[in-house]
Chains A and B, each alone.
Chain A
C-alpha cells in the first residue's frame, strides 16, 4: 500500500522532479535546455540494452544530442533477475562522480557477456580506470549516496512505469512518451523530429 502511495506521489510530482531535482549532471549528454529530453532506463546486464547502447544511442548522439535537439539522461534500472546488474550500476554511478560514466558504461556493455557469466564485474570496470580512479570508484560504489541514487532511479522507473528494459522516456514539456521494444532508429528519429517541431 505504501509503495502504491509512493508511486502515485512520484507520478504526481514527476514533471517537476524530472526537470530539476533528480538528474545527476554526470550521467547526461547534451544541452539541458534542448527541446526534447530522453531519459534512458537501462540495465547493464540486459542484451537489448547493450544493443541500444552500442547501435542506437551513438546515432542519437550524432543526429540529435550534438545538434542541441535532445538532452539525454541515463537512468539505472537493474532488474532483480540479473545477478550482477546492480553491482555494475553501482560502479557506473560511482564512476560518474569522476565524470567517467561513459567509458565505464561502454566497457560494461562491451564485456556484458563475460562478466554476466563469470561475475567479475570489477575486472571490466578496472580495465578502463587508472589505479587512483579505481580506488575512488570502488570506495564510492558502496556509499549510501551512490546506492541511494540508483534506488531513486529505480523508483522513478517504477513510477513511469518501466515494464521492460531498455525504456526511453521521451518528453517535451508536459508531454511524455514511454518507448520500449526493439527501437527502430528510423521510427525513433521520426518521433523526435515531430516533437522537435
Chain B
C-alpha cells in the first residue's frame, strides 16, 4: 500500500467517524424530546406547509440516525456520505436564508437553544465542507479499488 492511499484511508476514517457521530448526536437530541419541539423549529423557517413540517419532524431524526450509523460502520459509504452532504447543503442554505432575513430562530440542529448566528453558520458550513471532502474521498477510494 502506498503512503498517499494510507493517508486517504486515514482521512476518510476520521471524517466518517466524526460526521457519523455528529449525526447520531443530532438525531438523539431530537428523538429524546417530543416530536413537536423539532416540528416547531422546522416550522420557524417558514418554508414548508404544516403537513410537510410534521412529516419532516417525524422522519428526519430517524434518517439522521441511520445515515450517521452507516457512516460510523462504513457501510454504503458513498451513498451515506452523499446523503449527508446533500442534507447539510440544504440545512446550510436554509440557515443562510434565515440569517440573511434577520430571523431570530433556533437552527434545530442539536435541540433547543441553538439560535442561528455566524457561529452556527460556521459550524454547519465546516460540516458541509467535511461532508463534501468525505464524498469525494469515498468515490476516489472506490475508483482506486476498481483500477487495481
- Residues of A participating in the B interface, judged by any CB pair closer than 8 Å: 48, 161, 163-164, 177-184, 186-188, 190-191, 194-195
B105 A194 Cβ-Cβ under 8 A: no
Query: Measured between C-beta atoms, what is the minimum distance from B98 to chain A in Å?
Result: 11
What is the CA–CA distance of A177 and B41 in the complex, to the nearest angstrom? 13
Report the nearest A residue to B41, measured CB to CB.
A181
- How many whole Å from B101's CB to the nearest CB in chain A? 13
**CB <8 Å contact, A163 and B106:** yes
Residue of B nearest to A165 (CB): B104
Q: State whether A194 touches B40 (Cβ < 8 A).
A: no
Taking A179-B37, A194-B34 as contacts, is the C-beta distance between A184 and B112 under 8 angstroms? no
Interface Cβ pair total, 8 Å cutoff: 59
Cα A187 to Cα B55 with chains together (Å): 12
How many B residues, CB 8 Å from partner?
A: 20
Cα of A177 to Cα of B113 in the assembled complex, Å: 11
Contact A164 B105 (CB under 8 A): yes
Interface of B is mostly: mixed
Instruction: Say yes or no for B124: interface residue by CB 8 A criterion.
Output: no
Shortest A36–chain B CB gap in Å is: 12
In contact, A163 and B43 (Cβ under 8 angstroms): no
Q: Specify which chain A residues have a CB less than 8 angstroms from the CB of B44 in the assembled complex.
A: 180-182
B36–A182 CB distance below 8 A: no
